[in-house]
């Protein structure tokens, strides 16, 4: 770092703690499916962990679509200087 400051995410153990904490939070949220009763309109929406899987797949599709769109609309670095 040019300014010599150390930030909390510069330490690998803090990154590992954050990563493990996010996994634990995600697992806890999926486990709440066991105790929360939902009144779903579709049968498949009542499956265990459906909303977590649906959200994960949706985000992956969104990121892949954004990468494809970037290739379609990307301009050269000196586009405005020409």
Residue 1: pLDDT over 70: no
pLDDT of residue 59: 96
The reported pTM is 0.64
Categorize the per-residue pLDDT at 79 as very low, low, confident or very high, splitting at 50, 70 and 90: confident
What residue numbers bound the domain in which 80 lies?
Answer: 39-82
The pLDDT score that the predictor gives to residue 15 is 94
Same domain, 43 and 78: yes
Residue 65, CA distances (Å) to 18, 52, 70 in order: 28, 20, 9
30 and 47 both lie in a single domain: no
The predicted-structure confidence for 20-75, as pLDDT tens digits, reads as follows: 999 999 899 888 888 888 888 998 888 888 888 999 999 999 999 999 999 889 88
Q: Are residues 54 and 66 in the same domain?
A: yes
Q: How many domains does the chain have?
A: 2
Distance CA 44, CA 41 (A): 9
Q: Do residues 29 and 1 share a domain?
A: yes
Are 13 and 50 within one domain? no
Q: Could you tell me if 82 and 44 lie in one domain?
A: yes
Give yes or no: residues 46 and 77 share one domain: yes
- Residues 47 and 61 placed together within one structural domain of the fold: yes
Short-list 65, 67, 75, 29, CA closest to 50:
29
The answer to whether the beta carbons of residues 30 and 52 sit under 8 Å apart is yes
Residues 52/29, Cβ–Cβ less than 8 Å: yes
Helices (H), the chain: 12-31, 50-73
Residue 2 has pLDDT above 70, yes or no: no
Q: Is the pLDDT of residue 76 over 90?
A: no
């Amino acid at each position: 770092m040019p300014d010599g400051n150390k930030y909390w995410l510069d330490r690998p153990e803090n990154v590992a703690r954050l990563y493990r904490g996010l996994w634990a939070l995600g697992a806890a949220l999926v486990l709440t499916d066991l105790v929360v009763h939902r009144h779903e309109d579709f049968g498949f929406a009542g499956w265990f962990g459906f909303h977590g899987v649906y959200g994960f797949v949706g985000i992956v599709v969104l990121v892949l679509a954004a990468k494809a769109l970037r290739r379609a609309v990307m301009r050269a670095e000196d586009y405005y200087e020409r």
